[in-house]
Amino acid sequence: MSEIRLRLPDGSERRVPAGITGQGVAEKIGSRLAKDALAIKIDGRLQDLNLPVEHDASIAILTFDSNEGHEVYWHSTSHLMAHAVKQLFPQAKLAIGPAIEEGFYYDFDLERPFAPEDLEKIEKKMTELAKAATPITRKDISKADALAFFNNRGESYKAELISELPDEAISIYEQGDFADLCRGPHVPSTARIKAFKLLSIAGAYWRGSEKNKMLQRIYGISFPNKEALDEYVTRLEEIKRRDHRKLGKDLDLFSISEESGGGLVLWHPKGALIRKTIEDFWRDEHLKSGYDFVYSPHVGRGSLWETSGHLGFYRENMYSSMDIEGQEYYVKPMNCPFHIMIYKNKLRSYRELPLRYAELGTVYRFERSGVLHGLLRVRGFTQDDAHIFVAPEDMETEVVTVLAFVVKMLRTFGFDDFKAYVATRPEKSVGENSRWEQATQALKVAAEKVGLSYEIDEGGGAFYGPKIDIKIKDALGRLWQCSTVQFDFNMSERFDMTFVGVDNQAHRPYMIHRALLGSIERFFGMLIEHYAGAFPVWLAPVQAKVLSISDKQFDYAKGVRDRLRAAGIRAELDPRSEKIGFKIREAAMEKVPYILVVGDKEIEQKTVAVRERGGKDLGAMPLDDFINRVTDIIAGKSMTTELTRG
């Protein structure tokens, strides 16, 4: 029997018989790998473990530890779920069932709605099917045979998908009496799927179009062992506990009313106070960093958006135009064209550059109702926007400065773990390749100089230039899209922007589009979930709450509150004739950093009894001591509530 050479990821080589399966390769490498193997990658192409390897190749055995392993495992579990549904509900029609970022889903067409108790039945059936250790096999058939196969089964959604495929060879995956249209690969047997949980039921239009039928979508998650599943479920419960929509309501921070419009945020007094605190800090730091503040309108003429390119490249995200005295106007999706108009208002010299225009500018973008999600996905939001006009030779230096500013801002809000992505030229874009390559390289160099490790996001750039996106990791280890720094060498030409250089000739400036926090709404939602509503003292809407034990202490308690306010501490008074234990519990639920209890003893000694958030009782201390310590914490924007002694 002839042999082939296989190159492993560590650079070593193995000689194996030609025609050996991927599972056989895994067994030759090691018993543990053979047990954990899910699929094989041959010269960069994924393949099922039970298919033969026929030639010399570079190979990698995929396990659940890799992102591609996740996808294979979760996609295979979606088939297992669909198999269970078809056995329990034979009349259900199959739509699609992909792996997603965390887990999988499958869409079904079933006349009666799934009920929560149905998920338990489906899980039980999935367990039976997994224990049966049914082989999962791939079959390649002609397009005509595939259409006949699924039409005979009444699977009209599968037939529709097949009819649109350009390929004449169609792959089907079978496990027992279940078959599905799929490219694969899949795990070799249902026995590989060990621990799973079905999480929720939702509605979803077929192919995402509101013109099509509403289907039922079941979401799920799976892992190779129960311990990992239990850990995930615990994490999921913590995510639910931190959900900014629930906390926003419980803490009276914001609301979204269908009467006023989906995706449009109503800021309540406490939420608005936190927003003001964020924005005040933002403005102060921008002034220190040499930015000028500008304001721009909420609507602009259609010709402005034509020149900028937004109507050509971004129209599907813009709201319909309005007619004003025979002219088309659009609600702005971006602030940049207005900032350019300010730049062009007069002749500019190289001595003025870089010019840094900053605006907390509210923009409006079309989002379908199905994707709206609290503060994280809205239709109207305020960008902490800035546009920097810079001489080409100074672009890299300015990008380094901006990235350092990003890191400083995010760290102040308690984020220290970042991931950066350099996004390259997308398919729909403008400009010469040489400029794109030069700009992309400049962004990479800038990231390295600031000490930001980065990955490449192929095709993720804006239509006018490459960018760096920075994601932050929250308390639960989740990554959130936050800051973005975008290189732009096209707008200056589109708007005929110039500056007079040292040679007294006209030159084109480059632009940097940047947002440090992303949008105020989204960033606020992230903060709520990161801190579970227990904001750092400097951000908390109420920093101290004064509680009187009885009505007799009202005047003293009011005086304490007034002293706190005079010192710049946001304080409230709870003078209600309720038991002190009840008032303490209620203040704790409001996540107030400090609870100050005053009774007859505190009046006599001119003190306050201090409790830190979390229940730590510090006992009595002079009010002036408390004020001095808390104002130091606020001024330092500390992440702790701990009051240091001395």
* Class (C level, CATH) for 71-241: alpha beta
CA–CA dist 92, 179 (Å, integer): 14
CA distance linking residue 401 with residue 137, whole number of Å: 55
Average pLDDT value over all residues in the chain: 92
Give the pLDDT score at 1. 60
The pLDDT value recorded for residue 355 is: 96
Known active-site residue 576: no
Q: How far apart, in whole angstroms, are the C-alpha atoms of residue 461 and residue 484?
A: 11
The token pair that represents 4 in the structure block: 């082939």
- Burial-class residue 90 by CB neighbours within 10 Å (0-12, 13-18, 19+): exposed
* Bridge partner list, 100: 103
The pLDDT tens digits for 568-608 are: 999 999 989 899 999 999 999 999 999 999 999 999 999 99
Q: Given this model, what pLDDT does residue 219 score?
A: 97
Cβ proximity of 332 and 296 under 8 Å = yes
- The alpha carbon torsion through 485, 491, 496, 499 (nearest 10 deg) reads 10
Q: How far is CA 479 from the centre of its chain?
A: 6
Contact present, 622 and 607 (Cβ < 8 Å): yes
Q: Please tell me the class of the 3-63 domain.
A: alpha beta
Residues with Cβ < 8 Å from 181, sequence gap 6 or more?
A: 146, 150, 158, 161, 162, 170, 171, 172
Q: Give the active site residue among 158, 387, 611, 613.
A: 387
For residue 581, what pLDDT is reported? 93
Which of 57-61, 199-203, 335-339, 369-373 is predicted least confidently?
369-373
Question: Is 182 one of the annotated active-site residues of the chain?
Answer: no
User: Would the pLDDT of 67 be above 80?
Assistant: yes
What integer is the mean pLDDT of 115-124?
A: 95
In the annotation, is 570 catalytic?
no
Q: What is the C-alpha separation between 408 and 406, in angstroms, rounded?
A: 5
Catalytic choice (513, 514, 530, 545) = 513
Q: Has this prediction a pTM greater than 0.75? A: yes
Three-class secondary structure of residue 75 per DSSP? helix
Domain regions of the chain by residue span: 3-63, 71-241, 273-296+335-529, 544-635
According to the 3-state scheme, what is the secondary structure of 239-301?
HHHHCHHHHHHHCCCEECCCCCCCCCCEECHHHHHHHHHHHHHHHHHHHHCCCEECCCCCEEE
Told to judge if 365 belongs to the known catalytic residues of this protein, a careful annotator would answer yes
Alpha-helical segments (H) within 478-519: 491-494
Torsion angle (degrees, nearest 10) of CA 444, 449, 451, 454: 0
Lowest mean pLDDT among 44-53, 226-235, 424-433, 477-486: 424-433
Tell me which fold the domain 273-296+335-529 belongs to: BirA Bifunctional Protein; domain 2 (3.30.930)
The question of whether 645 is a catalytic residue gets the answer: no
AA letter at 15: R
Catalytic choice (175, 383, 486, 553): 383
Give the pLDDT band (50/70/90) at residue 477: confident
pLDDT over threshold 90, residue 446: no
From 125, 336, 514, 613, the catalytic residue: 336
* Identity of residue 292: D
Residue 187 pLDDT more than 90?
Answer: yes
> What are the CA-CA distances from residue 478 to residues 330, 418, 419, 526, 632 (Å)?
36, 11, 11, 10, 31
Percent of the chain with pLDDT strictly greater than 90: 71
- 83 among known catalytic residues: no
* Mean pLDDT for the stretch of residues 260-272: 94
Tell me the C-alpha distance between 187 and 193, whole Å.
8
Architecture of domain 544-635: 3-Layer(aba) Sandwich (3.40)
For residue 66, report the phi and psi dihedrals to the nearest 5 degrees.
-105, 160
All residues at 6 or more sequence positions from 209 whose CB lies less than 8 Å from its CB, including other chains: none
Q: Are 460 and 423 in contact (CB under 8 A)?
A: yes
Q: Where are the alpha helices (DSSP H) in 481-614?
A: 491-494, 520-531, 554-566, 580-589, 600-605
Q: What per-residue confidence (pLDDT) applies to 462?
A: 77
β-bridge partners, 512: 388, 487
* For residue 425, pLDDT beyond 80: yes
Active-site residue, from 86, 356, 425, 467? 467
What local confidence, expressed as pLDDT, does residue 598 receive?
Answer: 95
pLDDT for res 644: 59
Active-site residue flag, 467: yes
Over 80: is that where the pLDDT of 272 sits?
yes
| Residue 104 confidence (pLDDT) | 97
Q: Which of the pair, 87 or 434, is modelled with greater confidence?
A: 87
Average pLDDT (538-546) is 97
Provide the pLDDT confidence category of residue 226 given band limits of 50, 70 and 90. Answer: very high
The verdict on whether omega for the bond into residue 113 sits within 30 degrees of 0, i.e. cis, is no
Question: Which range (53-57, 274-278, 291-295, 449-453) has the least confidence?
Answer: 449-453
Query: Which residue of the set 365, 545, 561, 629 is catalytic?
Result: 365
pLDDT band at 646 (very low <50, low <70, confident <90, very high): very low
Catalytic residue among 48, 107, 384, 385: 385
pLDDT digits (tens, 9 = 90+) for 307-349: 988 888 778 888 888 888 888 999 999 999 999 999 999 999 9
